[in-house]
Amino acid sequence: MKVGKVPENVLKRSILKQIRTSRKEVILGAGIGEDCGAVKLGEDEVFVLSADPITGTATDIGKLAITVTMNDLASAGAEPVGVLLTVLLPEDITEEKIREMMCQAQEACEKANVQIIGGHTEVTRVVNQPVISVTGVGKAKEGKLVSTAGARPGMDIVVTKWVGLEGTSIIAKEKEKELLSRFSRDFILKAQKLDEFLSVMPEAAVAVKSGVAAMHDVTEGGIFGALWEMAQASGVGLEIYLKKIPLKQETVEICEFFGINPYELISSGSMLMAAEDGNLLVMNLKKAGIAAALVGKATKGNDRVLINGEERRFLEPPKVDELYKAVGR
């Protein structure tokens, strides 16, 4: 395609036509020539906004872009309402690929009952693969927001599902040929399908009703990065038991194959939580069919300690995500 705005006929046919979910709160939605979207909320409600790009992969980018943003809003205890998409495309993009990305995005929006309010689509020489940046709009009742900064000394630290899900799925898709040299096709297919667990909206809904004090979705930097960020935001220390952090066997084996650390691998699909009664929170999550584990406690001071048997070591600030070591080869 030519550099610049996507042609109007492509915009109508392969982008706007794919947008089918609507919300009553949206009073101005996506359309040709519209630069803004508008959302009306109730008197006792507040806007919750989030922005996230997908740059680490072009595989299933439409689905990932929506899911990651929904997770951000859910981690604040907000109900997602809509999204704005900024889509940057390389010159060799085809209309079929554009339509495929939009269909993925719409399917994810339909599952989350979220409307694509608007955005911008452009072909540009500055990217060599599609990039989608999403601005999410959500709503929450006043006084009911949950932040990353809500952990307090003595609180239990809980991790939902398994860490490394997103990174494992991406690597299994993008490095399938290499992985086939060691693993069976069934094993790789199972790893690829871990992206079915990437939404944390169900656990966020349970946690809000269970009195959760802080939530943080585990994304770039993995669980180690998320633990550091929650501790930093809350001004607390941590004592975390490494062996209690849940991992899928597919994640363990794929990380061993590429020599990367599963605890520093992008982990959408897992939510980090702090609560006064972590056992109650875990029990309520499991009643809802959501796996969860109590992995440690928040402490006074600034020491963030990882405990592995007799070994104790300090958690470090987030590093470059391990995903890039694998897919960048």
The CATH number assigned to the domain holding 82 equals: 3.30.1330.10
Model pLDDT, residue 176: 96
Burial (CB count within 10 angstroms: exposed 0-12, middle 13-18, buried 19+), residue 19: buried
For residues 166 and 91, state if they share a domain: no
**What's the pLDDT tens digit per position in 132-149?**
999 999 988 888 889 899
Most confidently predicted of 53-57, 79-83, 156-160, 325-329: 156-160
What is the distance between the alpha carbons of residues 56 and 63, in angstroms, rounded to a whole number?
14
Distance CA 207, CA 75 (A): 10
> Do the bridges between strand 38-39 and strand 26-28 make them parallel or antiparallel, or are there none, so unpaired?
antiparallel
34 or 124, which is more confident: 124
180 and 85 in a common domain = no
State CA 185 to chain mean position distance.
Answer: 27
CATH label of the domain that carries residue 181: 3.90.650.10
Residue with tokens 């947008």: 19
Per the structure block, which two tokens stand in for 191? 């790893």
Is the pLDDT reported for residue 282 higher than 80?
A: yes
pTM score, whole prediction: 0.84
Confidence of residue 3 (pLDDT cuts 50, 70, 90): confident
Q: Please give the tally of structural domains in the chain.
A: 2
Structural domain harbouring 74: 4-141
